[in-house]
Amino acid sequence: MAEIYRGPGSEKDYQHSLDFLNDVFFSDDEEVRDFLTLLPKLYKKGCNHCENNLIVSVDGKWKGAVGLYFDEADVMGNRLVCGGIGNVAVGKDCRGEGYMQDCMQQAMDRIIERDADYSVLGGQRQRYGYFSFAPAGFEHSFTFNAQNLKHVYGADYKSKLTAVKVEEADKESIEFIKKLYNLNPDKIIRPDERYFDYLVSWQQIPYIFKDGNNTVGYCIFSHDMGAITEVKAVDTDCFKKLLAAAFITSGQQEIRLEIPAYEKEYIEYLSQVTEGHSICHSSSLTVLNWKKFIKAYFELKASYTKMCDGKMSFLIHGYKKDESFTICVKDGNVTFSDEVENPLELTHHEATALFFSLYSIKTYDIPSGVASWFPLHWYIHPADKV
């Protein structure tokens, strides 16, 4: 009789787990065919990726696996626990046998047991919708091309900034990036001992930019996506110079930039000089502790944009639990109360759409001042995705 195991993986399966995941996700014609290269922050020896996978194995062989990696986020000083889900895998010889649902349910149970505040993943909407996930978040996406460079900076423009590719041994540059990144009001707390591995996640390349002897900013570039997925400068003038320098360094005819909504000055400049501008979702999200999570992102949005005065109660039938609360905005100050009156009742998916998605039909059911609060601007940098 076959021996079936359900639960966390074991470090003894390190090489077997990598072989299993690589076989599921990669084909022979792909340039990169292994998770160790793709995500060293998770799959290096010592990172305990086996124990961070919820698996089903038969006679010691993995049949299904879901990676669950916990991080801590800092949003305006509010500490939130994130359960990032990745490498959702089912063996090629056993598709349709329920292993994915089994492993995902194990992961969701573990997230709730840990009392995580939210969880993030990438993947097909309907597949993960059964487990309460939906596309959400707020991301400005800009395209900048060679004609933009010519007309904005000049046909003969030569950047005065020097781009330097950051290597793992360059502790000074990594420390500079860390200090600049930590100025963000919404961020994942990246462990010091694995900081460089975060910067090169998904085969991205980090660069710093120097003006003479002064380091003035950094960016993370994804050649696969033709995009700058993270960028920060010491001030807005340096950002303008960095944009041109980064474009030239990319060697592309067009690049895309992903910018979180709180970078108001960057967005103002980019909206004037770039070829295209769109707003899209950041990832797929589920919220487990609604009041705590929403409170943090109300504080974030109120820190850089005006919010209409208003008061409204909500009752959310969440995936983890029901929660009710009242939100009041007065003169830019946001307060939360557990006392509710005539609450707007929302399912879990309706709440995600209203609070954190680009469209919700529920905005037609509430006062216009309250409707203007939404969506809240949750965002996750690609380097922090699993």
pLDDT of residue 224: 81
pLDDT score recorded for residue 2: 85
- CATH: 3.40.630.30, 3.20.20.10, 3.40.50.1000, 3.40.50.1820. Which one for 4-116? 3.40.630.30
pLDDT for res 45 = 87
The CATH classification number of 285-371 equals 3.30.1050
Look at residue 253 in the predicted model and tell me its pLDDT. 94
CA distances from 21 to 26, 86, 258 (A): 8, 11, 29
Q: Cα–Cα distance between 304 and 10 in angstroms, integer?
A: 46
User: Closest Cα partner for 49 from 74, 95, 84?
Assistant: 84
Q: Do domains 139-280 and 285-371 have the same CATH topology?
A: no
β-partners of residue 136 are 283
| Cβ count near 27 (within 10 Å) | 7
The CA distance from 135 to 118, in Å, is: 13
Per-residue pLDDT at 32:
63
3-class SS shares of the chain: helix, strand, coil, % to 5: 35, 35, 35
DSSP 307-353: ---EEEEEEEE-SS-EEEEEEEEETTEEEEES--SSPEEEEHHHHHH
Residue pair 208/359 in contact (Cβ under 8 Å)? The answer is: no
Per run of 10 residues, the mean pLDDT along the chain (length 386 residues) is 91 92 80 82 90 94 96 98 96 90 97 98 93 96 97 94 97 98 98 96 96 97 92 98 96 96 98 97 97 98 96 98 97 95 97 98 95 97 96
Element holding 355 (H helix, E strand):
helix 348-356
- In the chain, what are the domain boundaries? 4-116, 139-280, 285-371
Given the DSSP bridges, would you call strands 118-121 and 283-287 parallel, antiparallel or unpaired? antiparallel
> Which tokens is 148 given?
């933009």
pLDDT for 28 equals 65
Question: Under a CB-based contact definition with an 8 Å cutoff, are residues 290 and 318 in contact?
Answer: yes
pLDDT in the model for residue 31: 64
Distance CA 373, CA 330 (A): 12
> pTM for this one?
0.95
> How far separated are the first and last CA of the chain, in Å rounded?
36
pLDDT value of residue 96: 85
The pLDDT, as a whole number, for residue 29 is 65
What's the confidence (pLDDT) of residue 17? 92
Assigned CATH for 139-280: 3.40.630.30
Task: Say what the pLDDT of residue 185 is.
Answer: 98
pLDDT of residue 42: 93
284 φ/ψ angles, rounded to the nearest 5 degrees: -100, 135
